[in-house]
Amino acid sequence: MPLVEYRRKRHFNRTAEPAGKTVKRKSDRRLSYVIQKHAATRLHYDFRLELDGVLKSWAVPKGPSFDPGEKRLAVEVEDHPIEYATFEGSIPEGEYGAGEVIVWDRGTWLPVGDPHDGLKKGRLEFDLDGKKLHGRWILVRIAGRERSNKPNWLLIKRHDDFARPLKEYDVETAEPRSVKSGRELEELAENTFAEDKWTRRGLQKAVKRRRTAAKAAASNGKAATASKKTVKKKSAARGRKKSTASRRD
């Protein structure tokens, strides 16, 4: 049961993430891939390759780069259902991976050689044909560096016509929006304070500032109303005093 760990970590009566199932692929259909930008505890990119009816998945903290000199850490995580490739939205607070998710890139992938053999040996090479990523890439497992039971890999761009130096082109900065909705994480969270780096903590700070500003505006409105009432009362009191004095005269 390849999705046991995925389902064990989630409460599907609380999260909109799909429970999913293993899907049999038609032999004439190309394999799909998806990369989801995820503002969880730390901002990262979830890199997923369709294989054997599920999405083989890695969390890439710094995201992909077209620069072959950039070896990006990719932490292997549990398999996800195929339906997850279209998931975009908010994972509720208290749930596994709580935070905002957008479909940052998607397309098809073609393994170089037998992908099962590549995964087993820790050297999976493939071509990507997506909205943002293209060309030859490779995932290389790092031997002996696992801090947990989740193996660490490196995601590396191969030298080809699509390779570009990072200082010349940073795909993350150049292409921040969802290929599904056209939204950025900030827009998905309905947040106008975009100066924070989009970690979960940054999101919480921005929301707090927004609420504080709203309370201040409401408080100022109440203060202004109270001030007007005070002025009216003082004016009425002065009027009554003048009237009393006039009658005495």
Name the DSSP letter for residue 217: H
pLDDT digits (tens, 9 = 90+) for 192-216: 333 333 444 554 555 455 556 667 7
pLDDT digits (tens, 9 = 90+) for 134-163: 999 999 999 865 555 779 999 999 999 999
The most confident of the ranges 12-26, 37-51, 230-244 is 37-51
Mean pLDDT of 163-170: 97
Kindly state the tokens that stand for 38: 């995820």
Question: Cα separation of 45 and 36, whole Å?
Answer: 6
What pLDDT score was predicted for residue 110? 97
DSSP-based three-state secondary structure for 5 = helix
The reported pTM is: 0.75
Catalytic residues, by residue number, are: 197
pLDDT digits (tens, 9 = 90+) for 83-93: 999 999 999 99
